[in-house]
Amino acid sequence: MSSSASSAASALPGAPFVAYGAGQLQVEQVTLSELAQQHGTPLFVYSQASILAALAAYQRGLAGRNALICYAMKANSSLAILRLLADAGCGFDIVSVGELERALAAGATPSKIIFSGIGKTRAEMRRALEVGIGCFNVESMAELDVLNEVAQASGRVAPISIRVNPNVDAKTHPYISTGLRGNKFGIGHEQALQAYRHAASLPGLRVQGIDCHIGSQITDSAPYLEAMDRILDLVTQIEAAGIRIHHIDFGGGLGIDYNGDTPPRADDLWHELLARVDARGFADRQIVIEPGRSLVGNAGVCVTEVLYLKPGEQKNFCIVDAAMNDLPRPALYEAFHRIVPLVEATGAATVYDVVGPVCESGDWLGRDRALNVQAGDRLAVLSAGAYCMSMASNYNTRPRAAEVLVDGAQSRVIRQRETVQDLWRTETP
Ligand code: LLP
């Protein structure tokens, strides 16, 4: 067994920088039991090398291109993660003024920020214009008009793309599928040309590009290729109408391995997609992408302690100190996350539902898991880098967990555990 968790041979599936070294689970070269001892549980731990390796796959795929990787920060918006990605050259895809201020606080370059979302307020538009963001991804005709008004009133011109809904089935969970006609996102493919004509006629707007995002946790390249074909058809039509499309924003959505999933590698996918772009004569256009989960998802684990074992007639429960407020994906999407012990176990296993202390039957982290555990042992919930801390809540008046970033043999706390007093700081009894 290698002592370095970054050795590919011993890495756990779906956790490329997590491995057992001398029977102890490590993130890179840091032992998780030691971090749990020092900082308590539940504790999110992220591997910097894992995030940078995931980014490198995109950078390889887009090498030699005029391209901008805008990290979809909703996946994990902790400042240290944002700073890491900003320092590595990323821009950001934001969906609220809160995310805008967070990105700026982490050192983002405003011109590398794009603003997505169907419900931008006037105040959000004003602030984004004031700091000089790179582009607004506009999602409706009504939004075009409001943005035009806001831009004119502030004496600025808003750079825009129109998010087109290509009506492609991303074949993912219905809650995170966004590119179908019945979804609330984007402007229908059929109305897109008309929307571009309208945008081009408004003095407060400057057409910059085209945008689409068809869903999340996509594990097959076919929907991407279909969406790209449809978008390129539109670019041809829009440019025939005399409106130049400077960039093609192709959204995010690439899946990760949660449970044996086999998404294409980012570099392979982009090799295929760029072949289509080039074949259609658009090789000179800037490519913008908005990956979230695929940059951070497999880089994070959540360490939790077993509080009680509760054998039952129908089910055995393993009750842990992390819950749906920390890890909401199983409760929301019946999502699967691998769960492994921090100390490698060899004896006989029992099948448990791993559940949190929150007062809902929906508060489970894993069902029917074979584990050899005792109260006081610690477990790691894998692939917890995306859409876990960023969706965490204080339900049941539970303070949010602490976060640690690992770099090689070094680790540092990037978010302190909330105190219970923090939770009512803004309230009046
Ligand atoms: N761009 C737009 C406009 C988006 O709406 C999203 C994600 C992304 C990019 C990034 O997608 P990604 O590369 O992360 O798949 N909470 C859910 C996922 C919600 C995704 C929302 N939009 C989950 O835990 O599975």
Q: What digits encode the pLDDT tens for the residues 24-48?
A: 999 999 999 999 999 999 999 999 9
Task: Give catalytic status of residue 70 as yes or no.
Answer: no
Residue 346's pLDDT is what? 86
Rounded Cα distance between 323 and 316, Å, is: 17
Contact 263 CB / ligand 1 (< 6 Å): no
Q: Which of 90, 135, 318, 359 is catalytic?
A: 359
pLDDT at position 7 over 80: no
pLDDT at position 312 over 70: yes
Buried b (16+ CB within 10 A) or exposed e, 147-164: bbebbeeeebebbbbbbb
Residue 179's pLDDT is what? 66
Q: For residue 178, which atom of ligand 1 is closest to its CA?
A: 5
Contact 217 CB / ligand 1 (< 6 Å): yes
Residue 170's pLDDT is what? 79
The Å distance, Cα 264 to ligand 1 centre, comes to 17
pLDDT digits (tens, 9 = 90+) for 366-406: 999 999 999 999 999 999 999 999 999 999 999 999 999 99
pLDDT digits (tens, 9 = 90+) for 258-301: 999 999 999 999 999 999 999 999 999 999 999 999 999 999 99
Contact 75 CB / ligand 1 (< 6 Å): yes
Q: For residue 295, which atom of ligand 1 is closest to its CA?
A: 13
> Which of 290, 302, 336, 393 is the pocket-test mutation for ligand 1 (most atoms within 8 Å of CB)?
290
Contact 294 CB / ligand 1 (< 6 Å): yes
pLDDT at position 230 over 80: yes
Give me the residue spans of the domains in the chain.
3-48+297-423, 49-293
Contact 252 CB / ligand 1 (< 6 Å): yes
pLDDT band with cut points at 50, 70 and 90 for residue 360:
very high
Q: For residue 297, which atom of ligand 1 is closest to its CA?
A: 14
**CA 250 distance to own-chain centroid:** 15
Contact 213 CB / ligand 1 (< 6 Å): yes
The Å distance, Cα 246 to ligand 1 centre, comes to 24
User: Contact 219/257 with Cβ under 8 angstroms?
Assistant: no
pLDDT, mean over the chain: 95
Residue 183's pLDDT is what? 77
CA dihedral for 357, 30, 300, 413, sign (positive or negative): positive
Contact 291 CB / ligand 1 (< 6 Å): yes
Please compute the mean of the pLDDT values over residues 176-200 and round it to a whole number.
86
- Topology classification of domain 49-293: TIM Barrel (3.20.20)
Is pLDDT larger for residue 4 or for residue 367?
Answer: 367
Among candidate residues 112, 92, 115, 111, the one with its CA nearest the CA of residue 290? 92
Please compute the mean of the pLDDT values over residues 105-134 and round it to a whole number.
98
pLDDT at position 6 over 50: no
When computed from its CA atoms, the radius of gyration of the chain, rounded to whole angstroms, is 23
pLDDT at position 1 over 70: no
pLDDT digits (tens, 9 = 90+) for 61-118: 999 999 999 999 999 999 999 999 999 999 999 999 999 999 999 999 999 999 999 9
pLDDT digits (tens, 9 = 90+) for 74-85: 999 999 999 999
Q: What percent of the chain has a predicted confidence (pLDDT) above 90?
A: 91
Rounded Cα distance between 202 and 158, Å, is: 10
Contact 93 CB / ligand 1 (< 6 Å): yes
- Topology classification of domain 3-48+297-423: Lyase, Ornithine Decarboxylase; Chain A, domain 1 (2.40.37)
pLDDT at position 8 over 50: no
pLDDT band with cut points at 50, 70 and 90 for residue 168:
confident
pLDDT digits (tens, 9 = 90+) for 315-358: 999 999 999 999 999 999 999 999 999 999 889 999 999 999 99
User: Contact 183/241 with Cβ under 8 angstroms?
Assistant: no
Q: For residue 95, which atom of ligand 1 is closest to its CA?
A: 3
Q: For residue 75, which atom of ligand 1 is closest to its CA?
A: 14
Rounded Cα distance between 18 and 118, Å, is: 37
Residue 3's pLDDT is what? 41
pTM of the model: 0.96
Is pLDDT larger for residue 1 or for residue 156?
Answer: 156
The Å distance, Cα 213 to ligand 1 centre, comes to 9
The Å distance, Cα 402 to ligand 1 centre, comes to 23
